[in-house]
Amino acid sequence: MTSETDTSNTGQAAPQPDAASGEIVLKTEDLTKHYGGVHALEGANFELHKGEHVAIMGDNGAGKSTFVRQITGVEQRTRGKVWLYGEEVNFAGPLDAREAGIETVFQTLALADDLDVPDNLFLGREMTKLDWLGPFRFLDYKGMRQATIDGLNKTAVKIPNIRNTIRYMSGGQRQCVAIARTATFHSKLTIMDEPTAALGVQETAQVENIISTLKAAGEPLILISHNMRQVMDLVDRIVVFRRGRMVANLRKEETDGQDVVAYITGAKTGAEFEGAA
């Protein structure tokens, strides 16, 4: 473990006691991504502790999704380092990240419309029988169905019939299917990029319910969201991005909606980030 808890970096005067002593799940240092001349992400120093739920907020185009893509290997970063549970990682693709235990719900959902719920949950990692048959090995439909029901029950997700194709499911149900992967596979870190942006009130409540369940189970989470109420309800800490830079790192108890908005709009910049933005 190379995880020294370098709190001066994140700059909080009094970090959460449990977080400070806890294991560091994810740490980035000087994480940077340029698209040609566009500095979409610039020198992000980020830390996530065991059991912690952190929100990333910021205007559209602030670099939030870019940040996620650099961590999960969807893109190759321009500069910087990433550690997962103390081990330095540089994923070649999203699969490597998933195999390492990072489950991501991307802003654009990666689901196959013509398959049903268990098929989508287990796509690419099916339970199988008669493995000596190679690509023609048989699917363990029963096992996958049971695991799907267990996973969905854990998150109290309501889906009328898991054996129908997901083509005609509502946005909320589809989002829940994507999120249920996390609960089914016990990931080490869950990242959700605007999971409720396209959802109605009830569907949003359902997704928030899942997030609370993950919190209770001690599973760490990064939540990208524009919804202030949601963020205040759900997370321990809020990180604000503006124009590709981290401009604030706020514990929930020590801030409020107005304060966060001030950081988002640029009216305020965290003392330790002066000169950054």
Ligand X SMILES: Nc1ncnc2c1ncn2[C@@H]1O[C@H](COP(=O)(O)OP(=O)(O)O)[C@@H](O)[C@H]1O
Query: Among residue numbers 78 through 97, which ones bind another protein (CB under 8 A)?
Result: 94-95
Torsion, Cα 186 2 97 172, to 10 degrees, reads 50
Residue 72 — φ and ψ, nearest 5°?
A: -95, 10
220 contacts 190 by C-beta, under 8 angstroms: yes
Per-residue contact flags (x/-) with ligand X for residues 31 to 50, judged by CB under 6 A: ----x--x-x----------
**CA–CA dist 251, 162 (Å, integer):** 39
Q: Give the contact letters, 16-55, x = binds to Mg ion (CB under 5 A), - = no.
A: ----------------------------------------
**Which of ligand X, another protein, Mg ion, none has residue 12 at its interface (CB below 5 to 8 Å by kind)?**
none
Phi-psi region of 141 (alpha: psi -120 to 50; beta: other; left: phi over 0): alpha
Residue 49 contacts which entry, Mg ion, ligand X, another protein, none (Cβ below 5-8 A, type-dependent): none
The answer to the question of residue 60 lying near another protein (CB under 8 A) is no
8 A C-beta contact, residue 152 and residue 141:
no
Question: Nearest-5° angle of CA 88, CA 81, CA 179?
Answer: 75
- 152, 214, 222, 246: which one binds another protein (CB under 8 A): 152
SS3 139: strand
The residues, ordered by sequence, that sit 6+ positions from 119 with a Cβ below 8 Å of its Cβ are 112, 144
Task: Check residue 65 for interaction with Mg ion (CB under 5 A).
Answer: yes
66 binds ligand X (CB under 6 A): yes
87 binds, among ligand X, Mg ion, another protein, none (CB under 5 to 8 A by kind): none
Strands 38-49 and 24-35, how do they pair? antiparallel
Residue placing its CB nearer to ligand X in the complex, 77 or 145: 77
In this chain, which stretch among 47-55, 58-66, 173-181, 231-239 interacts with ligand X, using CB under 6 A?
58-66
Residues 5-24 that bind ligand X (CB under 6 A): none
162 binds, among another protein, Mg ion, ligand X, none (CB under 5 to 8 A by kind): another protein
Query: What is the binding site for ligand X (CB under 6 A)?
Result: 35, 38, 40, 58, 60-66
